[in-house]
Amino acid sequence: MTTALATRPDRPLTGIALMLTSMAMYMITDTTAKYLTDEVHPVQIVWSRYIFYVFYLVPVVLWYGVGRAFATSHKVAHVGRSAAMLLSGTCFTISLAHLDLAFAITLAFVSPLFVTLLSMIFLGEKVGIRRWSAVLVGFLGVLIVIRPGGDFSPWSLLPMLSAFLWAISLILTRRTGHDHPLPTLVYTTIVGLIGSSLMVVPFWGPASWTAWAMMAAIAGWNLIALTVMIRAFSYAPASTLAPFSYSQMIWSTILGWLVFSHIPDLWTYVGGGIVVASGIYIWHRERVRARSQPA
């Protein structure tokens, strides 16, 4: 299997198509979660995702063996990354109950900006004037989107907090080295289930069978989307696929209009465009920097 993937020739169009499909599937899960917030508390939705992850993951663990499922020398980093991912997902799901889908997604795109800042602080990476400028321009785009002093909503801070926590999880992912994906999934599920079980107690409420089916679908679709994305990287390099993650803005606008009749205003498009442009430029500078370093 490994040899086949390593020797497969690049097929960038196939990789891009799979990446776009993956991003669309992720947006379907976010849209479903937002739809469910009318009946189920967002924290309970987050908890249900980890519960269903357990059911989906147990057969995989039994197939590979329990020993391999926990085989890592970076246990602390895995726990920290999983906790950051849990809190990030919780903040974002709560924000969906109060904000338009496209608006929340746009604010969450500040994650690359936070990754740049945190990489300098915790990983000792050098950040040049060009990336610093991109970060400042990106935050200017955020200010245009949220318009503090105008129609500002405190709930707008949650997607940005989610992006910050997600950036922390990415930094900690670099600390885990080249572990097999299975321990990553196992630690994510265990830490997420324990943490969300503690958080859900005061927010627990009855839910219909339809709601439970939709929550199971959210977990399943997330895993399928991850599988499709991994498949995309087997056809094209990360440097080719990374910018297409921003297609979520398009999917969120379409699904927000179809399901909730929400149409973003002009300033959301303008600010979102600035945020996306700054993120793509940071990705570009990372790519240039990586090429200039010895292998």
Q: What is the tens place of the pLDDT at every residue in 76-105?
A: 888 998 999 999 999 999 999 999 998 899
Q: Which structural domain, as residue segments, surrounds residue 76?
A: 2-292
Question: How many distinct structural domains can be found in the chain?
Answer: 1
Q: What is the pLDDT of residue 178?
A: 60
Q: Would you say residue 122 has pLDDT above 50?
A: yes
Q: Would you say residue 5 has pLDDT above 60?
A: no
- What DSSP assignment string belongs to the chain? -HHHHHHSPP-HHHHHHHHHHHHHHHHHHHHHHHHHTTTS-HHHHHHHHHHHHHHHHHHHHHHH-HHHHT--S-HHHHHHHHHHHHHHHHHHHHHHTTS-HHHHHHHHTTHHHHHHHHHHHHS-----HHHHHHHHHHHHHHHHHH-TTSS--GGGHHHHHHHHHHHHHHHHHHHTTT--HHHHHHHHHHHHHHHHHHHHGGG-----HHHHHHHHHHHHHHHHHHHHHHHHHTTS-HHHHGGGGGGHHHHHHHHHHHHH-----HHHHHHHHHHHHHHHHHHHHHHHHHHHS--
Q: Give the global pTM.
A: 0.83
**Residue 44 — pLDDT band, cuts 50, 70, 90?**
very high
